[in-house]
Structure 1
Amino acid sequence: MIHHVQVACPRGSEDALRAYYVGVLGMTEKRKPPALAIRGGCWFVSPGGGELHLGVEDDFRPARKAHPAFVWADLDALAARLTSLNLPVVWGEDEVPGVRRFHTEDCHGNRLEFVAA
């Protein structure tokens, strides 16, 4: 079992991360330990319990290929929400037989995958 996945974010982007991961996706922010909080970034927990840690990278470039994948209870509702906010939803159902999934990107262009529960 994986405890968490970490992807990079630009310095000073915590408000944008919270707006996206909490406001758009409905994740819960997990408080970082004080020794790590001074480095910046945020940690989030998905409704399914998976953790995503976003860490500051001074030479930030979004992850376009590597990505976390989250199991999501209501994939269609999430896709509709993202679409209504003009955020990308790219379905990939035919690529992996029997798996409903789509890719999108976060507020900084990091690739994310969501898979039907």
Structure 2
Amino acid sequence: MITGLHHAQITIPTGAEAQGKAFYCEVLGLQEIDKPDALKGRGGFWLEVGHQEVHVGTEDGFDRLTTKAHLAYRVEDIHHWRERLEEKGVEILEAVPIPGCARFEFRDPFGNRVELIELL
């Protein structure tokens, strides 16, 4: 029986952890959590998102701009997030409307597609 989602993983280029933490922790306000000692030498970092985790690993030789794969973060006050990201110079990409939701997309500094969604 599957009982829930524990974590999802995205990747950034090797050696880009400082830039990744600046974006995900400072701009998006996500909390970094400790990785197990056995995994600390592999690069990347982990984030807490509500009761789930996002693992940010490292991977080279991959063009993140070529995929529709993404994480969608549920937010409150979608207008606040749009303004915050625009102030930081992040290009907002309009998403196809879905009934009962306000949403938009953007790319992180590494090309990963990200969606923010507010349930109305």
Q: Which amino acid aligns with 1:102?
A: F
Match of 1:21 in 2: 24
Question: 2:19 aligns to what SS in structure 1?
Answer: helix
Question: 2:99 aligns to what SS in structure 1?
Answer: coil
Q: Structure 1: which 5+ runs fail to align?
A: none
Identity %, equivalent residues: 37
- Provide the TM-score with structure 1 as the length reference: 0.88
Say if 1:93 and 1:99, in contact at 8 Å, map to a contact too. no
Q: Structure 2: which 5+ runs fail to align?
A: none
Question: 1:17 aligns to what SS in structure 2?
Answer: helix
Between structures 1 and 2, the one with greater strand share: 2
Q: Does 1:89 align with 2:92?
A: yes
Change (3 A) 1:88 1:49: farther
Counterpart selection for 1:38 from 41, 45, 49: 41
Q: CA deviation at 1:93?
A: 5.5
Counterpart selection for 2:61 from 55, 59, 62: 59
- Provide the TM-score with structure 2 as the length reference: 0.86
Say if 1:50 and 1:70, in contact at 8 Å, map to a contact too. no
Q: Which amino acid aligns with 2:112?
A: N
RMSD after superposition: 1.6
Q: CA deviation at 1:81?
A: 0.5
Bigger-Rg structure (1/2) = 2
Q: Give the Cα–Cα distance (whole angstroms) in 1 for the partners of residues 75 and 52 of structure 2.
A: 10
Q: Which amino acid aligns with 1:62?
A: R
